[in-house]
């Protein structure tokens, strides 16, 4: 499992947000990597300590996605899925009798 650094607002911290990193070495117990950042969403300063054994160079790099830029833009405009949408989806899925029926419903929404 890859550790990710997140701001209190929920935004993932990437290399461009990092202002300073350093090591916090301890004689007993685990050592840590110190990361000081400014969130690109809320602009607040933050800091986080990551256990040295969990630290990887890729922590501060964005994960590649299968989305093309147009899809990424479309989904970002849609906003986050709220709890009411999750509840509605749950009840809709309870009505489905078979996977074929679900696939047919998905095909209908795409057209």
- The model's pLDDT over 28-51, given as tens digits with 9 standing for 90+, comes to 888 999 999 999 999 999 999 999
Q: What is the CA radius of gyration of the chain?
A: 20
Which segment of 20-24, 43-47, 51-55, 58-62 scores lowest on mean pLDDT?
58-62
For the chain, the domains span: 15-60, 69-110
DSSP state of 40: T
d(CA 72, CA 59): 21
- Both structure tokens of 10: 């929920």
Report the pLDDT value the prediction gives residue 69, as an integer from 0 to 100.
83
d(CA 52, CA 56): 9
pLDDT band at 2 (very low <50, low <70, confident <90, very high): low
Asked if 96 and 106 count as a contact pair (C-beta separation under 8 A), the reply is no
Q: What is the mean pLDDT of residues 91-97?
A: 88
Q: What is the mean pLDDT of residues 51-56?
A: 88
pLDDT at 111 over 70: no
pLDDT at 62 over 80: no
Q: What is the pTM of this model?
A: 0.55
Give the residue ranges of DSSP H helices in the chain: 69-78, 83-95, 99-110
pLDDT at 58 over 60: yes
Q: What per-residue string of b and e applies to 76-97 under the rule 16 or more CB within 10 Å gives b?
A: eeeeeeeeeeeeeeeeeeeeee
């Amino acid at each position: 499992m890859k550790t990710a650094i997140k701001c209190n607002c929920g935004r993932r911290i990437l290399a461009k947000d990092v202002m300073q990193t350093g090591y916090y070495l301890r004689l007993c117990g685990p050592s840590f990597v110190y990361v000081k950042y400014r969130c690109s969403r809320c602009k607040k300063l933050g800091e986080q300590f990551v256990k040295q054994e969990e630290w990887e160079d890729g922590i501060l790099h964005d994960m590649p996605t299968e989305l093309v830029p147009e899809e990424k833009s479309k989904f970002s405009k849609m906003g986050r899925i709220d709890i009411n949408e999750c509840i509605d989806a749950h009840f809709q899925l309870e009505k489905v009798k078979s996977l074929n029926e679900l696939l047919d419903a998905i095909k209908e929404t795409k057209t």
